[in-house]
Amino acid sequence: MTLRRALTILCLAAIVAMSIGVRLMQVVFVDREPLARALDGFYDRQWPQYPHFLADLREHTKPGDTIAVVVPAMGWDDGYSYAYYRASYFLTGREVLPLVTPDNRRLPQNFLAAKYIAVFGVRLRVPADVIWQGDQGALLRLRR
């Protein structure tokens, strides 16, 4: 290796090292477990049992199933958007059909198109068979 190449590599390493912030380097070496524990459940504080409910739904459905979600807050900004997106995350491989649009229009066609209706924290009075029931909700199949 020539002297010029060695100096070039050394200068490049110095530039890279100086451009990395101290805070960025701390992230690599700091224990983030206490922060993870503190944030666990942060997004689920409105309905703390909802993730457990979704995990149970995942066990009782198969990939490819269509599921509509009914929750206490059926307004998009009142909590339905959270319920819908959280369900889409937990129920990967299944198609979660929204029952409300972002401008709060109802989508009854999705209710009828879904193979299952996931009901959390409310009672739904429709002709349906109970596929699974837990403390916080149930998985229903509409009678057609």
Tell me the residue range of the domain where 124 lies: 50-142
pLDDT at 27 over 90: no
Q: Which residues pair with 37 in a beta bridge?
A: none
Residue 54 — pLDDT band, cuts 50, 70, 90?
very high
Assess whether 22 and 58 both reside in one domain: no
Assess whether 22 and 73 both reside in one domain: no
Assess whether 70 and 132 both reside in one domain: yes
**pLDDT tens digits, one per residue of 80-117:** 999 999 999 999 999 999 999 999 999 999 999 999 99
- Residue 38 in domain: no
Assess whether 18 and 86 both reside in one domain: no
Q: What pLDDT score does 52 carry? A: 92
Assess whether 26 and 94 both reside in one domain: no
- Residue 12 in domain: yes
Total tally of structural domains belonging to the chain: 2
